[in-house]
Each structure stands twice: as structure tokens, then as C-alpha cells.
A and B are shown apart, each in its own frame.
Chain A
């Protein structure tokens, strides 16, 4: 079963606008969440994380929001830049199992 879902396989956004990537999860035991960016022929690069005790975490242009009641997290990129074009993966983990579950990814294209 897919415990972490990214329902939008792709997203296109104009340069300078906000990009919002969404992720849903089903396992209420998940207590740590991460976002990664992946370029072709490279391994994923860590972007930002959030633990379940918080509902928001910011790092520069990247902000992650966590809604535990809805089992939903989102990544906001403001402003979006052409270099942000990549595949974005969300991941969730249960601190009791040390197991990270990844979504299937969303391909973001930022148009100049």
C-alpha cells in the first residue's frame, strides 16, 4: 500500500510565482517528514524537514507546512526560479522503525 502519496505527477509554474507541492500520508505513526529535490542522474538532495511537534518550518525560499489532522504536508517555494525545475519527493518516517517512506514524486517545471 502507498502510505505516502503525491497525487500530482507534474506541476508547471511561472518564474517568480509560488510553487506548492502536496503530499498526503496515511500512517498516523509518522512523526518526521522531509522534502527532497532530484535532478536526472543524481541522487536526491535534502531540502527541508519538519517534525510532528511543529506545523511549519522555513528555510529561505522553502517552507514546509504540516497538517497532522488532515495527514497532509506541503512545500511552498517562493519565489520560484528556473533552477528549481526538478522532481520533488516527500518522505515520512516513524521514529520507532527508522524507515523512510517516499512518495512517487512531483515533477516541477518553472517557466522563464
Chain B
């Protein structure tokens, strides 16, 4: 069974631009969560989707948004990029509606210049 895939793996943008990151969960998984990882901050929760509905979100500004499609694939969008948005963005999928172990993709490394 294929794992969680994320595209692109690396991205360089300039301040003020916007970016869209994509995540394909493990086949059959319906929950997708997004995290931002920066040095010293661990993994910061962005949002979680289940069956195309956002069930929870973290404490990030409205510039960060996401969505989930009917095939469970998810996208995350960041508008008006700031230097501080440079980070590793991780996507994780889990099987069902209840709490389960999450399986992570390799991440997208975003650099904002």
C-alpha cells in the first residue's frame, strides 16, 4: 500500500506570493491533518479534515487555509507569504473518524525569500 505523498517536495517563493501544497493520503484513509515544523517549535497543528469537512484548526492566521476533496486528497494554501512561513509542511493521514495513529508524508520544504 502506497504511503502518504506530498507535492512538491521543495518550493521557493518570494514574500507576498501565494502557494498551494498537495497531499494524497494512504488509500482508504479519510482524515488528513496538516502541520508546520520549524526549528525549536516542533510540529504545530494547522488543521484537520475528515470527509471534506474541517473538524479542527490550530492557531494560525487566516492566510493559511485548506480543503479536502471527495477522494480524500487535500490541499493547503498560504496567501501573502511572509519570511516566517519558511518551514517544513507535513501532511498526515489516518484511517477513520476516531483517533488513530497518523501516518506522515515526507513533507514540503517551503522557503520564502
Contacts and interface: CB of A to CB of B under 8 A. Distances in A.
Interface of A: 31-32, 34, 36, 41-46, 49, 89, 91, 93, 95, 97-105
A95 B99 contact: yes
DSSP class of B's interface residues: helix, strand, loop or mixed? Answer: strand
6 contacts: A34-B101, A36-B104, A46-B103, A97-B55, A97-B56, A102-B43
Say which size band chain B's interface belongs to. Answer: 20 to 34
Contacts of A44: 43, 90, 92, 104
**How would you classify the secondary structure of chain A's contact residues: helix, strand, loop or mixed?**
strand
Nearest to B55: A98
A99 B102 contact: no
A101 B4 CA distance: 20
